[in-house]
Structure 1
Amino acid sequence: MFWLSWAVLTALGGVWALASPMAAGPDEPAHIVRAAALVRGAPLEEARVGVWRAELPRIYGLTGEMPGCFAFRSSEPASCWDADWGDVSAPQGATTSAGNYNPLYYAVVGLPTVLEPRLGTLYLMRFMSALLGGFCIALGLRSVAETARRRWVVPAVAVATTPMVVFMNSTVNPNAVEAAAGIGLWLTLTIALREPDDRLVSRRWWRAGVLVVLLVNAKAFSPLFLAIIVLAAAVLAGWRCVRAALVDARAWPGLGLGVVGSVAAVLWILRAGAVSGAGIIAYPELTTAKALNDVLRLTSSYVEQQFGRFGWHDTPSPGSVYLLLAAALGLLVLLALAVARGREALALAGVAALVVALPVVLQVPNATQVGLPWQGRYLMAVSVGVPLLAGVLLDARSPVTGAAARRVSSLLLAVVGVVQVLAFGENLRRYVAGTSAPWFEPVVDPWQPPLPVAVLVGGAVLAVLAWVVLLARVAREADPVPAPAVDVRPVGAGASPEPAAENLAREQDASVASRT
């Protein structure tokens, strides 16, 4: 299951990578230069505040020119750039604003830069990003496949893997691994705490450790997002489950890996000054009241961006994408809140509230210095937890089981499949012809992607279909038969006869899990 899901997710990201012109991802030129300089050993020198320079083959410096005529202008096809390639291997100064970013992600996506400098090398960097993002989500899906109750969490994974997550995985940008590792960690951590299995303790916590390292070393705010994920999972599971995991020696290696990776990330941030401000009042008009008002007005835009706003945030998805995703997310959350117990509802509502509150908390205090630079993709590692927690709670508490649950799950998966295809088609159309061009009529001077448009569309449909079918296969579970609740605490530890969903028939769950 892990290998198949990794391959499908990588293929989906790979098709998106070919459907967007190079440097069409947000800030992609800066991240390409950072990765190339790191892997090729080119020293970065700070040219001015917030900008670093390195001597690299010309192809990497050209990425800063590639989106110049179509970025922020969605009606302009990517063919507007009149390529002046010259000698792409000749040394040339290239600049980046990511010179002090954590090097881990760049060390992976920059590996193709050891090859001959050419346009294909840049696309290989995108494929490495898709490979890494697919790896993280596949780890989380492997954890899901080990549980017996997964009818609801599987469509929740589909909803969490929004078109924006897929698009970011297809570009060179550390937000990609941050969001993908967030999905994997939400799933792995909540399942490891809430549904312990003696046979799987070590491998689950090793997975969690790897995902923590990839997440926490992505961006400057990643340690904060990790803390939110850990806290929410702990609240959801309860102290008894958390304590049981902490005292289990089999979990220690994975936990240790996560701790070491987190310490390394924090040390890098402190050393590089990745979250420090310049101390200059550049936006005196952004008083606290005005900044608060502006951020709250932008909240709906942040959510829209998390669903799918492509390019340099200049290409929205079709309106039906937002409606369908909002409906699917709303259904999961409302059903989960209806069946959740007090602590569980608190965890789910708290994460949803943080999606709204964090852009306020992280922008308003420093608005006069840095403005309001927030974008929805910055918070995807946290926001993906909303549908995922809802799915976990529904599997534990929902009275809707059997045929009814199967039909709802299948409907949600079908909706997500339609959403992914529509979003891909709109993004491809934007670059080939521009958003103002007619859908099915020829245009003058269209952009020519690396593969024919028909091949890319067919590949995208097949990749989305494979993703939906794979998820449907994972969701196909044997509905567990509830057993009398048994409190597993030792006698004298305050054991209570109160029913608990976590103490359903363990033997049936284990037998189903072993077959996956």
Structure 2
Amino acid sequence: MPKRSRVKREPIRPILAAILAGGIFFILSSIWALSTPPSSVPDEASHFIRAAAVAHGEFYGTAGDAHNGTVYVDVPAGVAYSHNFTCNAFKPDITVTTCMDQRPTDPSATVSTSTTAGLNAPGYYILTGWPSLLINGDSSLYAMRLAGALVASIPVAILFGALTRLRVGRWPYLAVGAILTPMTFYLSGSVNPNGLEATSILAVFATTLLLSRKTLSTRATLGYLALMLISGVLLMSTRSISILWLVIALAVGLLMGEGKVIGALLRRPVTWIIGALGVIAGLATVGWYLTAPDVGSPPPGGLMRGEFGTALAMLNSTGNQIIGWIGEFGWLDTPAPIFTPIVWGGAILITFIVGFSVAGKKNRLIIAGLLAVTLFMPTVVQTMVVHELGQIWQGRYMLAMALLTLLVCSIVMSDARLPWPSIRRPALAVFALLWAAHVAAYILVIKRYSIGINYPLLQMFVAPTWTTPFGIPILALIIAFSLVLAGGLWLLWKLADSVPLDEDALDLRRLREPEALRA
């Protein structure tokens, strides 16, 4: 019997890949946003208040008399009430409806309240706080969450547009299934800059890699430079340390590029114009943090240790930090079911080991450097601030760098002609496990907030203590989440599986490192 020939499919258009990926990410993050009470994400109440204050034109606020890092601002009473939703923080066996104070009679009335995010750069909060200008009460809080989900979805769309234009082979698409962890969606569906930080760093790297590896037309070059600028500005709008993440993402993208392509790119005037705009945005961000008024620092929290003891404790908690990238929900009081970190940890470990193993000398150094920053920077930073702030570090703070490291590994894997026919079925099985692990984490979180972690699962459907907003049935949310997640993984699978066997490294043969570097 003659052998069936593989049908050569046309690659998906970058704009279609961007719309589909960004849309699916937005829907999944939005479902997460509607599945928990406001302020159930760490520090979200402070971010709600900061966002509403910025949207209403108050960029600085007033320092409190205690000089403890708290800033007082004027916001609608419905937004100020978000502090009350934290009454069950660190108490996973109760729901917010059992402990909240009475709601304000007029949620639109202006009141003064405190926030610990008062000096954060205003960019992120402008993008998420505008719904508070239009609606009041709990609805404004959920609307701000949805605005945050939309903003975090934009870099995901840019990421997929760049990857499909670069035609990176199948492995980055497969790796994205592991890169976008449950924690990424959870944070993106909240008012917390860590979600946008995690997605925008990927877009910065992908657009930089595309521009430094592939010679594009003048129009396309302008378009992707603009997308790189947008991604970079979004990244800088999140946290002060994100300026460092931006520099790392740009540097890695350029180091993995081609010298001739980069040289041609630098000879185009548009490159310098977009670059100048980026520098201006960076200087403005740095200037914000340098000129912000001194409001003091919060009192040290957690178990106090000396520098050496702190460093040992941080190194010893590396495993817990990694779980923080995958699923540590609520106020760190609701870890994902053990099945979830086992599956995700395995997928992450495989991506790193294979990527590092097939990399050339230069790319191995890049991966090793990224991994060192991801694993050891928490120890360095926490040791430096332990006397001033106490034990503050959380795993989600390094989520952006962890995701960047995995994406770099997957790009390197595309340069190696791994035997796809023999890997195809195991890869499909991993995707099925990732789906089950993500759904399991989602169900656990919605159970924790609807009835409490220790109650029977069935009670969540028949007699929940806390009900989801707008009367959405919990079962409907779970079904919708499961189906959309399956659709997203199916899209990744089709993108990967549609790469012809003879084009596994399409456009990458000419991009490989010189043999001297691969020795």
Q: TM-score range by the shorter chain?
A: 0.7 to 0.9
Match of residue 428 from structure 1: 446
Query: SS state of the match for residue 95, structure 1?
Result: strand
**Separation (CA, whole Å) in 1 of partners of 2:296 and 2:55:** 28
* Contact 1:282–1:368, Cα closer than 8 Å, also in 2: no
Provide the TM-score with structure 1 as the length reference: 0.88
Query: SS state of the match for residue 72, structure 2?
Result: strand
Specify the code of the residue in structure 2 equivalent to 1:341.
Answer: G
Match of residue 468 from structure 1: 489
Match of residue 4 from structure 1: 20
Q: Among 459, 469, 475, which residue is 1:454 paired with?
A: 475
* Contact 1:152–1:409, Cα closer than 8 Å, also in 2: no
Match of residue 152 from structure 1: 171
**Separation (CA, whole Å) in 1 of partners of 2:507 and 2:495:** 27
* Contact 1:487–1:497, Cα closer than 8 Å, also in 2: no
**CA displacement, residues 28-71 of structure 1 (integer Å, 9 cap, x when unaligned):** 11011111111112472112421111222211111011121x11
Shift of 1:418: 2.2
Q: Among 500, 504, 511, which residue is 1:478 paired with?
A: 500
Query: SS state of the match for residue 74, structure 2?
Result: strand
Match of residue 243 from structure 2: 223
CA RMSD of aligned residues (A): 2.8
Match of residue 15 from structure 1: 31
Specify the code of the residue in structure 2 equivalent to 1:230.
Answer: L
Shift of 1:352: 1.1
Shift of 1:242: 4.1
Query: SS state of the match for residue 477, structure 1?
Result: coil
Query: 5 Å matches for 1:88-487?
Result: 88-198=107-217, 200-237=220-257, 241-272=261-292, 286-396=305-415, 398-441=416-459, 446-450=465-469, 451-475=472-496, 476-481=498-503
**Separation (CA, whole Å) in 1 of partners of 2:439 and 2:301:** 42
Shift of 1:255: 2.9
Match of residue 505 from structure 1: none
Shift of 1:353: 1.4
* Contact 2:211–2:262, Cα closer than 8 Å, also in 1: no
Match of residue 29 from structure 1: 45
Match of residue 514 from structure 1: none
Query: SS state of the match for residue 64, structure 2?
Result: strand
Query: SS state of the match for residue 220, structure 1?
Result: coil
> Cα–Cα, structure 1 residues 22 and 242, in superposed 2: closer, same or farther, change >3 Å?
same
Query: 5 Å matches for 1:33-72?
Result: 33-42=49-58, 44-48=61-65, 49=67, 50-68=69-87, 70-72=88-90
Match of residue 6 from structure 2: none
Shift of 1:323: 0.6
* Contact 1:148–1:480, Cα closer than 8 Å, also in 2: no
Q: Where does the alignment leave 5 or more consecutive residues of structure 1 unmatched?
A: 489-495, 502-516
* Contact 1:337–1:345, Cα closer than 8 Å, also in 2: yes
> Cα–Cα, structure 1 residues 258 and 296, in superposed 2: closer, same or farther, change >3 Å?
same
Shift of 1:498: 4.8
**Separation (CA, whole Å) in 1 of partners of 2:136 and 2:300:** 41
Shift of 1:278: 5.1
Match of residue 11 from structure 2: none
Match of residue 513 from structure 1: none
* Contact 1:217–1:261, Cα closer than 8 Å, also in 2: no
> Cα–Cα, structure 1 residues 77 and 497, in superposed 2: closer, same or farther, change >3 Å?
closer
**CA displacement, residues 199-219 of structure 1 (integer Å, 9 cap, x when unaligned):** 743222221111011101210
**Separation (CA, whole Å) in 1 of partners of 2:348 and 2:507:** 32
**Separation (CA, whole Å) in 2 of partners of 1:291 and 1:238:** 42
**CA displacement, residues 162-193 of structure 1 (integer Å, 9 cap, x when unaligned):** 11010001111111211111122232222332
> Cα–Cα, structure 1 residues 134 and 292, in superposed 2: closer, same or farther, change >3 Å?
same
Shift of 1:240: 5.1
Query: SS state of the match for residue 84, structure 2?
Result: coil
Specify the code of the residue in structure 2 equivalent to 1:325.
Answer: W
Specify the code of the residue in structure 2 equivalent to 1:5.
Answer: A
* Contact 2:304–2:390, Cα closer than 8 Å, also in 1: no
Percent identity of the aligned residues? 24
Structure 1 stretch 216-225 or stretch 235-244: which is displaced more?
A: 235-244
**Separation (CA, whole Å) in 1 of partners of 2:279 and 2:306:** 39
Query: SS state of the match for residue 53, structure 1?
Result: strand
* Contact 1:39–1:110, Cα closer than 8 Å, also in 2: yes
> Cα–Cα, structure 1 residues 454 and 313, in superposed 2: closer, same or farther, change >3 Å?
same
Q: Where does the alignment leave 5 or more consecutive residues of structure 2 unmatched?
A: 1-15
Structure 1 stretch 244-253 or stretch 140-149: which is displaced more?
A: 244-253
Structure 1 stretch 81-90 or stretch 131-140: which is displaced more?
A: 81-90
* Contact 2:97–2:466, Cα closer than 8 Å, also in 1: yes
Provide the TM-score with structure 2 as the length reference: 0.87
Shift of 1:233: 2.4
**Separation (CA, whole Å) in 2 of partners of 1:17 and 1:327:** 27
Match of residue 4 from structure 2: none
> Cα–Cα, structure 1 residues 181 and 23, in superposed 2: closer, same or farther, change >3 Å?
same
**CA displacement, residues 64-111 of structure 1 (integer Å, 9 cap, x when unaligned):** 11121x111112223323451222222322211111110001001111
* Contact 1:213–1:257, Cα closer than 8 Å, also in 2: no
* Contact 1:307–1:322, Cα closer than 8 Å, also in 2: yes
**Separation (CA, whole Å) in 2 of partners of 1:282 and 1:454:** 39
Query: SS state of the match for residue 41, structure 1?
Result: coil
Structure 1 stretch 366-375 or stretch 437-446: which is displaced more?
A: 437-446
Query: SS state of the match for residue 373, structure 1?
Result: coil
**Separation (CA, whole Å) in 2 of partners of 1:203 and 1:166:** 27
Specify the code of the residue in structure 1 equivalent to 2:34.
Answer: L
Specify the code of the residue in structure 2 equivalent to 1:119.
Answer: D
Structure 1 stretch 47-56 or stretch 213-222: which is displaced more?
A: 47-56
Shift of 1:232: 2.4
Query: SS state of the match for residue 99, structure 1?
Result: coil
**Separation (CA, whole Å) in 2 of partners of 1:25 and 1:114:** 22
* Contact 1:208–1:258, Cα closer than 8 Å, also in 2: no
Specify the code of the residue in structure 1 equivalent to 2:487.
Answer: A
* Contact 2:23–2:153, Cα closer than 8 Å, also in 1: yes
Shift of 1:124: 0.6
> Cα–Cα, structure 1 residues 281 and 473, in superposed 2: closer, same or farther, change >3 Å?
closer
> Cα–Cα, structure 1 residues 217 and 55, in superposed 2: closer, same or farther, change >3 Å?
closer
* Contact 1:130–1:169, Cα closer than 8 Å, also in 2: yes
**Separation (CA, whole Å) in 1 of partners of 2:439 and 2:298:** 45
**Separation (CA, whole Å) in 2 of partners of 1:82 and 1:279:** 25
